Every structure is written in C-alpha cells, then in structure tokens.
Amino acid sequence: MDERFSRRAFLGAVGAGATTGLAGCNTMLPRSSGDAVETDGPLDTFAATEFRGGLERQGVSLDETIPTDPEVEWTLREVNTGDHTAAKASPVEVPGGDIVVPGDNREIRRVTPDGEVVWTERVEETGRGIHGTPAVANGVVYIGAYDGALYAFDLETGERYWRTKLGDAIGSSPGYHDGTVYIAVEYYDPSGELFAVDAVTGEVEWSDDRVTNHPHSTCAVDRDAGRLVVGANDGDLYAWSYPDLDFQWTFSTDEPIKGPVATHDGSAVFGSWDQTVYRVALDDGTEQWAFEPDDFVMSGPSIETDTDTVYVGSHDSRLYALDFADGAEQWRFDTAGSLIGCPTVTNEHVLVGSYDEHCYAVEKATGAEVWSVEGVGVVSSTPLAADGAVYFTDRASDAYLDGKEADDDESDPDDSGGLYKVVSADGN
C-alpha cells in the first residue's frame, strides 16, 4: 500500500479534518462547512455501487434478468425537469435493495423498491442540478453537481457530511477506489481539471488541469492496465498511470468526447462527436480500430467481456453491437430518436433509452426488440436492472417545460420527468 492510501486510512481512523495537499498537488480550494465521514472500520476498497457497474465502466449486469411482460409499477415524478440536452442522472441500486436517484431538479433521493421515499436532500443552487450518477462506498453517497461541488451524503439518513467546491460545474459521475473519489470538473473558460479527493475529509489530494474545454466525460480506472482515462470537449482522451497518477498520453479526435469511457483487455472504448467509436490501446494511446455510425456518439459503450461484444448508441437513433476485436458491426437496432445515454447489458438482453421517449429491451444475440416502455419525456439515463425489475428516468417533456413557463412554475407534475419501475404484469 503506498503512502497516499496509508495516510488516508489514518485520517479515517482518527476522523481528521482539513489537511494540506500532497507533493505535486494544487493549493487547496475553498471547502464548505461539514464533517469528515464517520467510519467504524477500514475504508471500502471498492464501491458498493459504481456508475456502469465498476471502475472499468463496462455497463454489464449478467446476473440480472428483465421483465417478460412489462408494465410500470410506479413512477416518482419531478426527477428531471430541465431542458439541458445532456444525458441525465441514472438510478443505482444500493446495499439492501433500495434505489438512489439524483435529478436535475437539484434533489437526490433514496427510494425503496415499493416507491417510498426514504430521504430527500438537495445540492446547492444551480440551474442544472445533478447530471452524474452516484458512487456509494463507506455507507456514503458521493455525487457531483452543476454548482461545481462534490458532495458526500450519509446513505442511511441523507445527512450531508461535506461539500467540496472544485470548479464551476460537474456533469460527470464520480469513481471510487480505496478511499479516493475521482471526478472530472468543468470551468467556464472553457477549461477543466481532473481531481482525486479524499473520501473521508473531502480534501483535494491531487489534480491535473491539462484536461480542457468542459470534461463532461466520466473517467475509467483500469487497474490491470495501470491507467486512468477521461475524455473532454476538446476532443482528446487523456491517460495517467494508476495509482501513481503520472500523465502518459493523449489521443485526439476531431470533436468532443462527452460520454463515459469503458475499458477492457488493455484498451479504452469510447465515442466522439466526430461520428466515430474508437478502441485505443491503454499503454500508449495508439488507435486499434474505429467504427463510424451515421451521427454523433455521446453514449458510453458497454463491453460484454464473455462474448467480446461492444454495445453503443448514437445520435443516428441506433443501438449497435460491435466486435470488440476489430469493431465489425454485428447488428443494429433502430429507434425513432437519438441514443445519448448508455446501454445496460443483462443476462440475455440490452436495455437502452431513446429520445423517442421509450426505454427498450433488445435481444443481445440478434438485436431484435423484445419490448418497449413509454415515458413522458426523452430517456437519456442509463437503465438499471435490479431484482427482476428495470428502473429508468426520463427528462421533462415539452408539455411540462411549456407549462412551467406559462403557468409560473405551476405545471402539471404528471408531465414532468420521473423515475419509473418496470415489472412483469404476469409476475414473471
């Protein structure tokens, strides 16, 4: 265990507060009032819940099945109510089976599988709320928001431990490993920075400001390859060694890299707004293959390692299955709207949301549609498969947004975006 992690474990044991930065770190940024995370024992090495299932962001849940005869069991409204077109926050399952869902209305909620709200907390005032998806470790919910701050909330009560102001906006999702939270942060310039933050105290441990022009992308950590990678709106993929965080290389595309990066077998797979999906070697950043759909790629790829298949959506309204080895197309599935959220791979199916206001289940072997469920707005979240059910969120419909403006914020909540739980009507 290196010095950085040994020091952090000591802080967790004694409940220490503010500390000075490590060698090579930037000066500490202002931090709002709050307490260090309370820990009863050693810190978690890995998160209990991580966006896209883990540090590699592969988006695969092979132990999960989906409903066979879908119906919406319940809906929690007014989750996403803003008109920003980026992919919106996604629900995650936490230990015990409850769901934590953040929204662009600034709220983050813990909800039971029966739809009962256990607690609701808010981030500071910001017009775009939360777009990222939480990581949960040490009994703590870690999430960034568009006020430029990273937050730590108690999983049981929702009480806020700390809030660390890092920049002007955070649209990405945090990653957690061995007591550190990693997050990409945006500045208005436009520029950006990648941060490593102490999970106990909220103090900055390390940062690198070479990431420019709004890094909305979610970073991936590949421990086998010894790399941390993240994309940015400047069109570059950035790589550092891991865990020592020495900068290694950039891979340049012609347009923004907005979606999450996924890794497997010494490679990073990601999409760019230059209408290309790339596979790039993690050791030196060389291109291994490129696949060209017919429009932008903001969706984060899923990688099913058992079959060496990549699943990824595009603004061209299609979900693609690609061969991981060479990028060859295996099948495509057409919807009636852009696919900007990430797909989720289950035991036999792929789940994906579309701008046509539907969440789809597709046979992963053939690309044939199994079913679709309609919401009231665009579905840009990453669907969650948990205990035989499917959860997804949608973004507020035009009717809601028009009504909000016309009625001075008194529009019908039934027209607002929500969290949906889909189950089998026949009980199977």
pLDDT tens profile 202-237: 999 999 999 888 888 999 999 999 999 999 999 999
**Residue 291 CB contacts under 8 Å (≥ 6 apart), including other chains:** 276, 277, 320, 322, 327, 329
Whole-number average pLDDT of the chain: 88
**Residue 401 CB contacts under 8 Å (≥ 6 apart), including other chains:** 81, 83
Split at pLDDT 50, 70, 90, the class of 4 is very low
Count Cβ neighbours within 10 Å for each residue of 166-186 and write b for 16 or more, e otherwise: bbbbbbbbbbbbbbbbbbbbb
- Angle (CA) 274-277-280 rounded to 5° is 110
Q: Which residue has the higher pLDDT, 326 or 400?
A: 326
Instruction: Return the bridge partners of 268, or none.
Output: 263, 280
Q: How far, in Å, CA of 355 to CA of 340, rounded?
A: 8
Element housing 10 (H / E): helix 3-14
Residue 76 has pLDDT above 90, yes or no: yes
What is the residue type of 7? R
pLDDT at 104: 87
Residue 158 has pLDDT above 80, yes or no: yes
Identify the structural domains of the chain with CATH numbers, from first to last. 3-14+54-424 (2.130.10.10)
pLDDT at 205: 98
CB 264 within 8 A of CB 279: no
pLDDT at 369: 98
Measured CA to CA in angstroms, residue 27 lies from 6, 8, 23, 207, 415 at distances of 21, 18, 10, 10, 46
pLDDT at 273: 96
Q: CA nearest 176: which of 220, 206, 215, 132?
A: 220
pLDDT at 2: 31
Q: Where are the alpha helices (DSSP H) in 178-240?
A: none
pLDDT, tens digit, 9 for 90 and up, residues 336-375: 999 999 999 999 999 999 999 999 999 999 999 999 999 9
Residue 78 has pLDDT above 80, yes or no: yes
pLDDT, tens digit, 9 for 90 and up, residues 269-313: 999 999 999 999 999 999 999 999 999 999 999 999 999 999 999
pLDDT at 399: 67
The residue count for the chain:
428
pLDDT at 400: 63
What is the residue type of 223? R
Q: CA nearest 419: which of 372, 384, 371, 370?
A: 384
DSSP string computed for 285-303: --EEEEE--SS---SPPEE
pLDDT at 326: 98
For the chain, percent of residues with pLDDT exceeding 70:
87
CB atoms within 10 A of CB 328: 11
Six-digit token pair at 340?
Answer: 């900007």
Classify residue 127 by burial, with Cβ atoms within 10 Å: 0-12, 13-18, 19+: exposed
pLDDT at 34: 64
What is the dihedral angle through the alpha carbons of 175, 178, 179, 185, rounded to the nearest 10 degrees? -20
Split at pLDDT 50, 70, 90, the class of 89 is confident
3 state DSSP class of 262 = strand
Q: CA nearest 196: which of 33, 25, 37?
A: 25
Give the pairing type, strands 220-222 and 149-154: unpaired
pLDDT, tens digit, 9 for 90 and up, residues 364-423: 999 999 999 999 889 999 999 999 999 999 987 666 666 655 555 555 556 678 999 999
CB 314 within 8 A of CB 321: no
121-125, 264-268, 289-293: segment of lowest average pLDDT:
121-125
Six-digit token pair at 243?
Answer: 């865990």
pLDDT, tens digit, 9 for 90 and up, residues 251-261: 999 899 999 99
CB 296 within 8 A of CB 273: yes
pLDDT at 409: 52
Count Cβ neighbours within 10 Å for each residue of 83-104 and write b for 16 or more, e otherwise: eeebbbbbbbbbeeebbbbbbb
pLDDT at 15: 35
Q: How far, in Å, CA of 158 to CA of 176, rounded?
A: 19
